[in-house]
């Protein structure tokens, strides 16, 4: 996302000579949307802060300062966000929380993307009984109270971070599969698919080379909206004490710790909560902007 504004300018110059592709059109529309651009900038700042976390603070994330337990924010000693109940620096812990939260959000979305797109495209392309069976399965999965299964999974198999990725990804792919199936159904009757078919290309190659690239628009939009949802779910799990474990941390863990001492140490809640809210806010704005940009029919 960091490079997008720059490439936009470059494209604008090229456009006069060459004519614009649909993607260039979409990009131009996106860059005209002020809320989406601000959201992208803020998200890249949060991302950069998360990546550079160890270099930005004089304090390591798991160092305990016995003489500064629950100290309020203080610029003199470098605890810009104060310290937590164990005397650890909140600034660097918030950024490490950002690492975990963003990583969970992106990876779990990746998992859901992989399953959902493949599943939906396959069901939509083959149609008939295959479609019926595959989508019936999705319907059944939909009616399960999944949140509770994720919790059940975390309770029974321990709270490993990889399990969170897989569990959340496995939950979030259902809607993606439905979206992709619908798009595939409308695309598979088009002439270029028929042409590919006539030239003897195998079904799976057609799906991956010709169908999927053409359904990417809605997929990207929905993906942008899945990331905040996953981050929210992870925070929810962590808040209940079922997410990532010490000394690692995530925004959900920090918020739950902060919520307990809100009367005496509000900074422990306010900073991680602000980061979480701003990030979710930006992903939602970016998703809305992308929808407007990629789907001009909706305007």
Partner 1 sequence: MFRYVFRRLVSAVPTLLIIVTIAFFMMRVAPGGPFDQERNLPPEIEANVLKAYGLDKPLVEQYLDYVGGLLRGDFGPSFEFRDFTVRDLIFGGFPASLQIGSMALLLAIIFGVAFGAFAALRQNSRVDYAVMTLAMTGIAIPNFVMAPILTLILGVYLSLLPVAGWGDGAWVNKILPVVALALPQVAYISRLTRGSMVEVLNSNYIRTARAKGLRERIVVGRHALKGAMLPVVSYLGPAAAAVVTGSVVIETIFEVPGIGRYFVLGALNRDYPLVMGTVIFYAMLIIALNLVVDLIYAWLDPKVRLE
Interaction site with partner 1 (CB under 8 A): 140, 143-145, 147-149, 151-158, 228, 232, 235-236, 239-242, 252, 255-256, 258-259, 262-263, 266, 269, 273, 276-278, 280-281, 284-285
Nearer to partner 1 by C-beta: 38 or 201? 38
Name the minimum Å distance from CB 284 to partner 1: 6
**To the nearest whole angstrom, how small is the minimum distance from the Cβ of residue 295 to partner 1?**
14
Tokens 């929808």 found at: 291
* Share of the chain residues as helix, strand and coil, in percent rounded to the nearest 5: 75, 0, 25
- Cβ proximity to partner 1: between 212 and 287 the closer is 287
- Residue 12 beta carbon to partner 1: minimum distance, rounded to whole angstroms: 28
CA distance 109 to 33: 25
Cα 261 to Cα 63, 190, 269: the distances in Å are 21, 60, 8
Q: What is the DSSP-derived secondary structure letter of residue 69?
A: T
Q: Which of 279, 258, 277 shows the shortest CA–CA distance to 48?
A: 279
Closest listed residue to residue 181, CA positions, set 230, 222, 226, 149: 222
Q: How far is the CB of 252 from partner 1 (least distance, A)?
A: 8
Distance of alpha carbon 147 from alpha carbon 149, whole angstroms: 5
Q: Which is nearer to partner 1, 138 or 187 (CB)?
A: 138
Which is nearer to partner 1, 214 or 284 (by Cβ)? 284
- Structure-block tokens of residue 87: 């005397």
Closest contact distance (angstroms) between CB of 165 and partner 1 is 18
For partner 1, the closer of residues 185 and 261 by Cβ is 261
């Amino acid at each position: 996302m960091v490079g997008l504004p720059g490439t936009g300018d470059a494209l604008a110059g090229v456009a006069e000579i060459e004519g614009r592709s649909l993607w260039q059109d979409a990009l131009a529309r996106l860059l005209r949307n002020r809320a989406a651009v601000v959201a992208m900038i803020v998200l890249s700042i949060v991302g950069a802060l998360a990546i550079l976390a160890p270099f930005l603070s004089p304090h390591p994330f798991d160092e305990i300062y016995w003489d500064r337990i629950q100290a309020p924010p203080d610029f003199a000693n470098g605890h810009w966000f104060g310290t937590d109940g164990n005397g650890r620096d909140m600034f660097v812990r918030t950024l490490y929380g950002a690492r975990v939260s963003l990583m969970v959000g992106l990876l779990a979305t990746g998992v859901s993307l992989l399953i959902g797109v493949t599943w939906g495209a396959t069901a939509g392309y083959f149609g008939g009984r295959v479609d019926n069976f595959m989508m019936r399965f999705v319907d059944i999965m939909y009616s399960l109270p999944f949140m509770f299964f994720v919790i059940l999974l975390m309770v029974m198999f321990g709270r490993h971070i990889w399990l969170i990725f897989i569990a959340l990804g496995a939950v979030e792919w259902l809607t993606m599969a439905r979206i992709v199936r619908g798009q595939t159904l409308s695309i598979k009757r088009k002439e270029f698919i028929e042409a590919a078919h006539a030239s003897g290309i195998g079904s799976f190659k057609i799906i991956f080379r010709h169908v999927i690239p053409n359904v990417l628009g809605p997929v990207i939009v929905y993906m942008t909206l899945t990331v905040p949802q996953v981050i929210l779910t992870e925070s929810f799990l962590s808040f209940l004490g079922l997410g990532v474990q010490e000394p690692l941390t995530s925004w959900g863990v920090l918020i739950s710790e902060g919520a307990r001492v809100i009367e005496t140490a509000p900074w422990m809640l306010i900073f991680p909560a602000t980061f979480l809210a701003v990030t979710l806010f930006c992903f939602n704005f970016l998703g809305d902007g992308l929808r407007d940009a990629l789907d001009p029919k909706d305007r």
